[in-house]
Structure formats: structure tokens, C-alpha cells
Amino acid sequence: MVEFLKKMMEWALEKEEELAKECKIDPKEIDAQLYKITQKKSDLEKRCQYEIAKIDKLIERLDNIKKESSSCESKNG
């Protein structure tokens, strides 16, 4: 399904390129598409940054647990 959507998007972009070359597409329409795509990119970046921050906290906690565990080994060793 994803591959199909990629091919459809590529086809649509090729058609828009052809229309642009023939001066048959309104630049305002392209501006609207650019705005939507840019907004989606921004939203995705924000979500990714949030998720990365959560993962970083998990890594930090696990690192602390590892340090605690290592100190036990030296006491029992």
C-alpha cells in the first residue's frame, strides 16, 4: 500500500511539472501545497523531538541502573 501511494505521488508530481512547463498551473496552488507539506514536516519534527527526548530519558535511567548494578558487583566481588 505504501509503495502504491509513493508511485501515485510521483505520478501526480510529474503531471504538475508538465503543467508548470506549459504554464497551465496556478503558482498559488503550488504555494498552498508547499505550505501544507512544510507544516507537516514541522509537525513531524516536533513529534520526533518529543519521542527522542523520551528515549533519552530512558537511556539515562538505564545507565543509572547499570551504574548501581556495577557498584553491587564490586561490593560482592
User: Average model confidence (pLDDT) for the chain?
Assistant: 93
* pLDDT for position 70: 86
Q: Mean pLDDT over residues 13-40, rounded?
A: 95
Question: Are 44 and 38 a contacting pair, CB within 8 Å?
Answer: no
The answer to whether residue 5 scores a pLDDT higher than 70 is yes
> CA-CA distance, 19 to 14, in Å (whole number)?
9
> CA-CA distance, 10 to 5, in Å (whole number)?
9
Tens digit of pLDDT for each residue in 27-49?
A: 999 999 999 999 999 999 999 99
Q: Is 2 left (phi over 0), alpha (psi -120 to 50) or beta?
A: alpha
Q: Mean pLDDT over residues 47-65, rounded?
A: 97
pTM of the predicted model over 0.75: no
